[in-house]
Amino acid sequence: MVSYKRLSPEDVQFTNTSASEESPAQVEVKDPEESERLLLQRRPHCSATTAIITLGFLLLVASGFWLLGTIFWLHGPSPSASNGAPQPRPPPGLGKVDGHRGSLSEPQACAGVPEAWRFDCYPERGVVVTRELCEARNCCFIPASSSSSPPSSGRNGVPWCFYSPTFPSYSLVSLNQTEQGIVGSLVRTVKTYYPKDVLTLRLDVLYETDHRLRVRITDPSAARFEVPITVPSATVKASSPAYTVELTNQPYGLVVKRTSTGAVLVNTSVSPLFYCDQFLQMSSSLASQYVYGLGEHRSTFLHDIHWNTLTMWARDAAPVELTNLYGAHPFYLSMEEGGGGTAHGFFLLNSNAMDVVLQPGPAITWRTIGGILDFYVFLGPEPASVIGQYLEVVGYPSMPISWALGYHLCRWGYRSSNATWDVVRNMRNYGIPQDVQWNDIDYMDHSLDFTFDPVNFATLSDMDPGISSVQPKEQYWPYDEGLKRGVFINQSDGETLIGKVWPGLTAFPDFSNPVTHEWWYENLQRFHDKVPFDGLWIDMNEPSNFLDGSTVGCPDNELENPPYTPGILGGLLRAKTACASALQKTSSHYNMHSLYGLLEAEASSSALRRILRKRPFIISRSTFPSQGRYSGHWLGDNRSHWKDMYTSIAGMLTFNLLGIPLVGADICGFSEKTDEELCVRWTQLGIFYPFSRNHNSLDQPAQDPAAFSPLARSAMKEALLLRSSLFPLLYTLFHRAHTHGHTVARPLLFEFPADVRTYGIDRQFLWGRSLLVTPVLDPGVDYVSGYFPRGLWYDYYTGDSVRSKGEDLRLDAPLDKFNLHLREGAIIPKQRPNTTLWVSVRQPLQLISCLSDDGSATGELFWDDGESLDTFETDEYAHIVFNVAKNTMTSEVLHNHLEAFNIIVETAIFYGVKFEPSRVTVNSQDAGYVYRSNQVLQVLGLELKLSQNFTISWM
């Protein structure tokens, strides 16, 4: 068998031109023996003497290298990590592995594997890996020269125990064309060191679209769990795919390349494939070090690929680094090296507990403990196109109800309705904008869902999934009725699983059961009849449990104690959640756990659509791919620290990549005491969270804007008025997210993919393509530095311009100032702000045009009633586009609606008008204007109807 390696472009052979023309989706299968035969046939003739001399010389050189390599291996560490891929080695003899024949690890082969390309053969945590343990798995054992860590598995660093280049894997033994692509059979003849190997696998390579490839590796003899979300199903092979697929047969390997550049996007030949009942592992090279996504974890936006393990298993845990958090999103976006800004994406459709290991090869390992290997490759080529293609699979995000985009206030600890309303009154008295008021769990009666404290509270709602199981019989309808209908998760023996959450002993609804969805709707309807709430906050839905498993523990079986447990917080699958062996309608909790938040959000969204007949507003803590179709997300129980404010930007940008654009962090921090400076700066940042909410914890000082000094109140008020004024832009961006899969809060690299300087930026971001946000993220400063990509930028407030070559600029930033800049070529709509969006959205519009050097700019506005269901799908909306060219702005109504008739445009502002006009006309009539020395032209006093085309010209 041949070696595992990262193939260079020279190693990968494409189908020939004529074959490509006949079948663009044809796959090349490389046979090493055939390659050797072809090479032998091409060897030139030589004399016997020359051959003997040459052979002798080669033997002498080989012996020398063998001797030096053996001495080096016996007496020293391995070579330093290198970005070069491991080179092929000849197949060694066979030895014994778990009673079966397997390859022995030769010293020369092991020493030849660069550190950066060593794939961990002993990933179990808490084990001090010795040479004996490692070689029992028939793997290489070499202490890494650049690692100071002991050989303890589970610690980040170069693995000391790693696969030899000839470790046994699957072979591709058959291959056939299908209408969608190809189907093959993979066979393993040597068992692994994990139990229950699946020795024969089915490989399906599906050319679904020109920019989307799907690969499925399944067990043809037994059904295995598959994630129950709806994905598109292609029926014909893509006609002109942007990718080329190559398969090697012994060992099996799959390589996906971008046809236009030759970039290798996926190469599974670098390490052996594992497919056991409870251990599936696949590694691949990466196209570059630039990897994003892979939520939910607290980290920088650009992931560190230096031996970084990201574990996925939904968990109730305050955000800290190197910990599995509330959601699981096995999707990454990667910028390609030397590709001129091209990008691709990879999505593993698997909900089981998993580790995703990034290493500096660069390479990635997917290690999951159930389900199947079902993955997609998205070819972009632009980063934004990658996200759109991903969302074509998992679903575009829903369009939010308009008030959801306002400013929200909440805390745990208001303690009464009166105290809650005092906060609202104070905000109104100071003229500080606020759209939504929340309460946390203290509004409930003894923390019971679907109840409220009849003495201290009468309104507002906070939902978590736990249903109390200890109330007097026939006195708590949700539990009594749930038992009758069988809606709760059961233990493996069939009895209702009882855990513990805020109300005490608790049962957990099984949202994989359609019966539960109807029961959930009826509970919400009954509660809405008492307290007419407008939205739902779904907390603790990992699901969280104050116990490990249940009140009676969990059985000792293979689901609770799999042969490999990923690096989850607590070390056990049942840590602070339900038993893995618990029974749900669709499958065991072992398979369904990370889907819990998604399925509850789906049930909640359906219920609210029926109850309110409006767009549902739901914020969920736990998430999974396709969550954006049903809910938004907040980034969990952060702290009142400057670092938490900074990391919230990466979290916000990551969730926009993951198709959940309605996202934000608790402004000013949830736990611990904030301070005035931090809260002001965080509010200035938080107005640019797509979901903007200030929320803090029990027994902490109040941190709503009205609670601070006049200077702080004024700064926060100005920030919140700014958000209110930008609602038309934000609403239009959400429309684009809903209809085209665009991001709302956007990393700079999306708009400047050819500028490598933008790849690691997560202290700045954009709204859409044009509004650059540069927040202050450090204490005690009155300036901020920001990177401005090449081009012309305008100060949002003044229109002053700066031409950047792609450089860092220092910006003044006193406490009452926030730095915003507009990109050349953009037209953004804004409105006269007010204290609520309900008032603001009825105010006149202003249009700001940011002219490029050639005097051009474009923009758009989406408008509807802000709350009705499916307005775009039912044509109940207005869509207007704006253009500036040759000193003329035009407004074109592409789609009209009654809502647009009530809105007027009162001001048009043009940044970058190079010469003072002598005349300005509006619809061919003279109009008043103001021209300033910084090349800003203002046309004031307009009464232009948004619903009618208009022109504004100057000369």
CB-based contact 281:203 (threshold 8 Å): no
DSSP-derived 3-state class of residue 333: strand
Residue 371, H or E segment? none
CB-based contact 477:451 (threshold 8 Å): no
Bridge-partner residues for 490, per DSSP?
A: 496, 583
913 burial type by CB count under 10 A (0-12 exposed, 13-18 middle, 19+ buried): buried
Report residue 826 as tokens: 């953009």
- Locate the DSSP E strands across 450-559: 467-468, 498-501, 504-507, 536-538
10 Å Cβ neighbour count for 726? Answer: 23
DSSP-derived 3-state class of residue 177: strand
Q: Which residue has the tokens 């399925």?
A: 599
β pairing state of 845-850 and 904-911:
parallel
Q: What is the 8-class DSSP label of residue 287?
A: S
Looking at the chain, the number of H-run helices and the number of E-run strands are 18, 52
φ, ψ dihedrals at 646, nearest 5°: -60, -50
Bridge-partner residues for 276, per DSSP?
A: 197, 279
Residue 7: closest CA among 246, 205, 339: 246
Whole-angstrom distance, CA of residue 695 vs CA of residue 700:
11
Whole-angstrom distance, CA of residue 908 vs CA of residue 770:
17
Give catalytic status of residue 542 as yes or no.
Answer: yes
β pairing state of 878-885 and 857-863:
antiparallel
**Catalytically annotated residue among 120, 539, 602, 899:** 539
Give catalytic status of residue 10 as yes or no.
Answer: no
DSSP-derived 3-state class of residue 652: helix
Whole-angstrom distance, CA of residue 149 vs CA of residue 667:
38
How far, in Å, are 34, 78, 112, 141 from residue 82 at the CA level?
31, 11, 11, 18
| DSSP string for 52-85 | HHHHHHHHHHHHHHHHHHHHHHHHSPPPPP-SSP
Q: Which residue has the tokens 């055939």?
A: 34
- AA identity, residue 290: Y
| DSSP string for 799-852 | --EEEESSEEEEEE--TT--EEEEETTEEEEEE---SSHHHHTTSPEEEEEE--
Residue 336: closest CA among 26, 9, 762: 9
Whole-angstrom distance, CA of residue 610 vs CA of residue 606:
7
Q: What strands lie across the sheet with 264-267, from one edge to the other?
A: 28-30, 243-249, 252-258, 264-267
CB-based contact 115:146 (threshold 8 Å): yes
Residue 696, H or E segment? strand 692-696
**Catalytically annotated residue among 106, 374, 542, 762:** 542
Residue 683, H or E segment? helix 676-686
Report residue 750 as tokens: 């999306």
Bridge-partner residues for 618, per DSSP?
A: 536
Whole-angstrom distance, CA of residue 276 vs CA of residue 197:
4
Bridge-partner residues for 937, per DSSP?
A: 910, 931
- AA identity, residue 921: T
- CA atoms within 13 A of residue 870's CA, in its CB half-sphere: 4
10 Å Cβ neighbour count for 711? Answer: 12
Torsion of CA 327, 747, 859, 920, to 10 degrees: 140
Q: Which residues are catalytic?
A: 539, 542
